[in-house]
Amino acid sequence: EDILARNPDGVVLSNGPGDPAATGEYAVPEIKKLLDSGKPLMGICLGHQMLAIALGARTLKMEQGHHGANHPVKDLTTGKVEIVSMNHEFSVDGASLPEAVVETHVSLFDGTNCGIALKDRPVFSVQHHPEASSGPTDSLYLFKRFVDSMRA
């Protein structure tokens, strides 16, 4: 309610440490309210995982996490490969994505989910850290996409 009372143009669900299921116990109900508001949303890393849970998907503990600044990720919407930074121990189970959600990015190391978007609303998220600019600018288009969705 505090966030929506400020009437933001959009909301970023930021990265942060933790188990998405445990953090999601208090955050997912709030994310669902943000989803219901119709505001554009962008999730990064833990924000990506919690958004996926709020949309009905599951997360999984990885045997080995993704850590470092040299991870190849494929954008399935464009076919472009980006070199990104990652730092996580959990991933979104791509097989659990509901019908309204499309997988947008995958890891070329192990095929795990690295991005989602809603088909009918300006809501998307990525597992990697576009703010880290490891490509050095491979993922900056994500911020442009978010700003464009807020302007629309």
90 Cβ partners below 8 Å, 6+ apart?
19, 20, 49, 59, 60, 61, 62, 65
Residue spans of the domains in the chain: they are 2-151
pTM: predicted TM-score of the whole model, two decimal places: 0.96
Q: Could you list the active site residues?
A: 45, 129, 131
74 Cβ partners below 8 Å, 6+ apart?
80, 81, 82, 105, 106, 108
What angle, 0 to 180 degrees and rounded to 10, lies between the N-to-C axes of helices 20-37 and 46-54?
A: 70
Report the distance separating Cα 52 and Cα 49, nearest Å: 5
CATH no. of 2-151:
3.40.50.880
At residue 136, the pLDDT reads 67
91-115 confidence digits (pLDDT tens):
999 999 999 999 999 999 999 999 9
Q: Count CB-CB contacts under 10 A for residue 83.
A: 16
| Residue 121 CB burial class (10 angstroms; 0-12, 13-18, ≥19) | middle
20-49 confidence digits (pLDDT tens):
999 999 999 999 999 999 999 999 999 999
44, 82 in Cβ contact below 8 A?
no
The neighbouring-strand residues paired with 79 are none
